[in-house]
Each structure stands twice: as C-alpha cells, then as structure tokens.
Amino acid sequence: MAAQNTKYMEAYEEDNVEGVMSLYSNDSIIVPPNGPNATGINAIKERLSPVILAVGRLSLETVDAKAIDDDHIIEHTRMHVYKKSGELLSQGKTMVLWRKENGDWKMHWDTWNVEA
C-alpha cells in the first residue's frame, strides 16, 4: 500500500485529479464525514476534484494493514492535510478497503474523519 499511497499523495500535491482517480476502482465508494457518500468513479471525481485542487499537500501514514484475502487489504492511516501555504488544514484517520484489479491495488471503499 505504501507505493499506492505515495502515488495518491503525489497526485494531490500536483493537483492531478486524474492521477487520484486512477487509484480508485470504477465501482468504488467514498464515505466522507458530514456529507453524502459518492458511489462510482464519476461521482467521486465530482466530489473530490474541488478538494484536490484546493489542497496543497496530503500526508498519509499507515497505522495498520491486514490482508483479508489475496485480493483485499484493509488499511488504517493517519492523515494530515495542508493548505497550499503549507499550514496544517486538518488531520484525521482513514480506513480504506483496497481491492486488486488486473494486478493493481485500487481503493474500493474509502472513508475518513477529521479531528476537531
């Protein structure tokens, strides 16, 4: 998951919406705090694009990851989100269900919270 998380963080930092989307499965679901779920890559793109373009940097640190089977891994991370100025915007935790598709790991379920 480290390699995929690095790609995700780099895509955020580069304002690369398509790079972020390439790490989600086509039928993925995001469950953001304080808002409705987004199901499917198009809905996720619509929901996350403004965030990706507004955020300066995203930092993810894996706390734990467990294989469910050969094609699924559940990962818990600590998350820090920074403004373009470098100032900390928010921090929280994530839980991601990764699914292997055609040999690549994709985020299938993605949820996070933000600490007050």
pLDDT in tens, 13-66: 999 999 999 999 999 999 999 889 999 999 999 999 999 999 999 999 999 999
d(CA 106, CA 30): 13
Which pLDDT does position 1 carry in this prediction? 86
Q: Based on the structure, what is the number of domains in the chain?
A: 1
Q: What is the CATH number of the domain that holds 41?
A: 3.10.450.50
What pLDDT, in 10s, does the model give residues 71-85? 999 999 999 999 999
Burial of 33 (0-12, 13-18, 19+ CB in 10 A): exposed
Domain that holds residue 53: 2-114
Which pLDDT does position 116 carry in this prediction? 64
What pLDDT, in 10s, does the model give residues 85-105? 999 999 999 999 999 999 999
Is pTM beyond 0.75? Reply is yes
